Amino acid sequence: MLSGVSYKIFLNNEGKLDVAEIHESEDNFWEGIDFMPDESGKELKFTRKTEAVQWLRDNCLDEFITPEYKKIDWSKYKK
């Protein structure tokens, strides 16, 4: 992880779940954005983008995830 960088999940303009890379210096840019909360209501926060994407894949329906992060069904490509 880069120092001062975190990753949070949010709903993008297309209505899909996406991952935001947030630098400490850009906090103002993300003001007013609702980020996905955990069970206690606190914003989910990850130290690596791969962790955030894996959380999406493990906990959210594919149809709501931005296409870039969806699971790929490799079985349809095999003989």
Per-residue pLDDT reduced to its tens digit, 22-70? 998 876 788 888 999 999 999 999 999 999 999 999 999 999 999 999 8
pTM over 0.85: no
Domain carrying residue 17: 5-77
CB atoms within 10 A of CB 18: 18
CA 23 to chain centre: 15
Residue with tokens 């149809």: 63
Kindly indicate the confidence band of residue 16, based on its pLDDT and cuts at 50, 70 and 90: very high
Separation CA 75–CA 61 (nearest Å): 19
Instruction: Give mean pLDDT, residues 9-16.
Output: 95
The total of structural domains in the chain comes to 1
pLDDT at 2: 55
